[in-house]
Amino acid sequence: MKKDYVLPSLNEARKRNKESSQKLSFSLDGKYIGLGENKKYYIITHGCQANQRDSETMAGLLEAMGYAMCDDEKQADVIIINTCAVRQGAEEKVLGEVGALKRLKNDHPDLIIGIGGCMAQEEKSVNLILEKYRQVDIIFGTHNITSLPKLLYEVIHTRKRRVEVFSKMGEVIEEVPVTRFMSHKAWVNIMYGCDKFCSYCIVPYTRGKERSRHREDILREVEELVEQGYKEVCLLGQNVNAYGKDLKEDYTFGNLLNDVAKTGIRRIRFMTSHPWDFDDSMILAIKNNSNIMPYIHLPIQSGNSEVLKKMNRRYSREEYLALYDKLKRELPGFAFTTDIIVGFPNESDGAFEDTLSAVRHCEYDNAFTFIYSKREGTPAAMMDDNVDRKTKEERLQKLNELVAYYANRNNQKYKDRIVEVLVDGFSKRNSSVYSGYTPENKLVNFTGRNVKIGDLVKVRITEVMSFSLNGEMVE
């Protein structure tokens, strides 16, 4: 059968050009408005914060078409799964979910199922879905989110499945509708894509080249959020501190931090900063603005220089630790977290020991730890994945124990302290137990009265665990 779509290509996605990205303005074609009248949608989101923000865009587009959100997939007329491709496990989970939707589709043949996100950018996953998961009606890539209304329209009118996945994207699209899932904290994209090409990572292929948004658009978005009563923004990018490099305007992430701080938003966070791009202007901006939160996520990935070189991380163990020590010195009282991969090809016992010793040196507040997962199409996939599963698992466990030890030790200093908590919600089991985060991004569960989501409250810490704190409200 003749295909009327082009499959994604990781080879194409790998290519980069020096052209600056073009800014486009989105507007929804009138023929899509009302298509979702009296219909409901349900979105399942996997993966990182970028995906969470993308799901908010999908929701915004669907609501602009007239669809209403629902929280039960059985009620939905449209189900979208926003996927992650960073590790094999995440992909398998999605395939399990899609498999389970088959029955729902049999019961409701008009149900439309869409697959978006990073898996949709991978040739092999798209082929697999097309072949084995007939229940899927739409496959759309990370560069094709704004085509969702058009694809839905086509499926509704032709009952044929639609695939739209661009392998490359040189544009930044503004004015896209958004339905934010929280009313007090907001994700704000400041740039898209990644040009770092760490050898293990699929993200530069699935999310394309680095494209920064213009500062006026970012600042307008934050100002609007302040007006709407938002208390916190998290500036998002795969490498937030590479911000602006592609715009060639001599305006760095440090400059942007200063300007976002001036909007008066109560709390500013950012994710993720790459050690290679951590410059002094950024440190100065963090120091000079009290609404930039005292928390830095600084992925190390490995504590061994040889492994780091093979990972193409652009820094050695010594360079990372020197930067880390400088940040600790310059930013006292800050919390630090990291990402670590164990079992990268050729990681010897000695190399793993170097990772443990780096953790001992840095005494992180927390670490997100992963077993290396081979990603087809990346340079590391050509290396022999020669650390056996059992060793990988043993290393992960040992690492997690060490991380938990320092996390617990760091948290001890919070005992009996009074901290400020931005309230996220309350326990389903006990409506007098609330939860939220301190400026250092510590999760706090606390008792109190008459507390609302989005309140900033003072809490006395009564009990300390490795990854959370318990307390009681004091005012």
Contact footprint for ligand SAM (CB under 6 A): 48, 86-87, 200-201, 203, 238-239, 272, 274, 299, 301, 339, 341, 370, 372-373, 375
- Cβ nearer to ligand SAM, comparing 196 with 361: 196
- Cβ nearer to ligand SF4, comparing 203 with 422: 203
CA distance 445 to 162: 45
Based on the shown chain and the rule CB under 6 A, indicate whether residue 201 belongs to the binding site for ligand SF4. yes
What residue has token string 């009952």?
Answer: 159
User: What is the DSSP code string of 295-363?
Assistant: EEE---B-S-HHHHHHHT-S--HHHHHHHHHHHHHHSTT-EEEEEEEE--TT--HHHHHHHHHHHHHH-
Give which of ligand SF4, ligand SAM, none residue 204 binds (C-beta under 5 to 8 Å, depending on kind).
ligand SF4
- Diameter over CA atoms, the chain: 69
Give which of ligand SF4, ligand SAM, none residue 208 binds (C-beta under 5 to 8 Å, depending on kind).
none
Residue in 249, 238, 254, 248 with CA at minimum distance from that of residue 192: 238
Q: Which of positions 229-268 make contact with ligand SF4 (CB under 6 A)?
A: 238-239
Give which of ligand SAM, ligand SF4, none residue 373 binds (C-beta under 5 to 8 Å, depending on kind).
ligand SAM
Query: Shortest Cβ distance from residue 398 to ligand SAM (Å)?
Result: 17
Q: Which of positions 259-318 make contact with ligand SF4 (CB under 6 A)?
A: 274
Give which of ligand SAM, ligand SF4, none residue 370 binds (C-beta under 5 to 8 Å, depending on kind).
ligand SAM
- Cβ nearer to ligand SF4, comparing 129 with 201: 201
Based on the shown chain and the rule CB under 6 A, indicate whether residue 204 belongs to the binding site for ligand SF4. yes
Give which of ligand SF4, ligand SAM, none residue 143 binds (C-beta under 5 to 8 Å, depending on kind).
none
Based on the shown chain and the rule CB under 6 A, indicate whether residue 16 belongs to the binding site for ligand SF4. no
Query: Shortest Cβ distance from residue 204 to ligand SF4 (Å)?
Result: 5
Count of residues that interact with ligand SF4, criterion CB under 6 A: 10
Query: Shortest Cβ distance from residue 339 to ligand SF4 (Å)?
Result: 8
- Whether the Cβ atoms of residue 432 and residue 448 lie closer than 8 Å to each other: yes
Give which of ligand SAM, ligand SF4, none residue 197 binds (C-beta under 5 to 8 Å, depending on kind).
ligand SF4
Query: Shortest Cβ distance from residue 7 to ligand SF4 (Å)?
Result: 23
Residue in 5, 94, 80 with CA at minimum distance from that of residue 36: 80
What residue has token string 């409250």?
Answer: 457
- Whether the Cβ atoms of residue 203 and residue 299 lie closer than 8 Å to each other: no
Give which of ligand SF4, ligand SAM, none residue 372 binds (C-beta under 5 to 8 Å, depending on kind).
ligand SAM
How many Cβ atoms from other residues are within 10 Å of residue 131's Cβ? 8
Q: To 10 degrees, the CA torsion angle through 316, 318, 319, 321?
A: 120
What residue has token string 């699935």?
Answer: 206
- Cβ nearer to ligand SAM, comparing 238 with 438: 238
- Cβ nearer to ligand SAM, comparing 377 with 454: 377
Pick the stretch among 39-47, 148-156, 194-202, 222-230 that binds ligand SF4 (CB under 6 A). 194-202
Q: Verify cis geometry, omega within 30 degrees of 0, for the bond prior to 355.
A: no
Of positions 194, 235, 358, 362, contacts ligand SF4 by CB under 6 A: 194
- E-assigned strands of 107-194? 112-117, 138-140, 162-164, 171-174, 185-189, 191-192
Q: Can you read off the two tokens belonging to residue 383?
A: 């290396």
CA distance 54 to 81: 11
Residue in 369, 379, 312 with CA at minimum distance from that of residue 341: 369
Give which of ligand SAM, ligand SF4, none residue 140 binds (C-beta under 5 to 8 Å, depending on kind).
none
Give which of ligand SAM, ligand SF4, none residue 375 binds (C-beta under 5 to 8 Å, depending on kind).
ligand SAM
- Whether the Cβ atoms of residue 51 and residue 22 lie closer than 8 Å to each other: no
**What residues have CB less than 8 Å from 216, skipping those under 6 apart?**
none
CA distance 437 to 111: 39
Applying CB under 6 A, the residues found at the interface with ligand SF4 are 194, 196-198, 201, 203-204, 238-239, 274
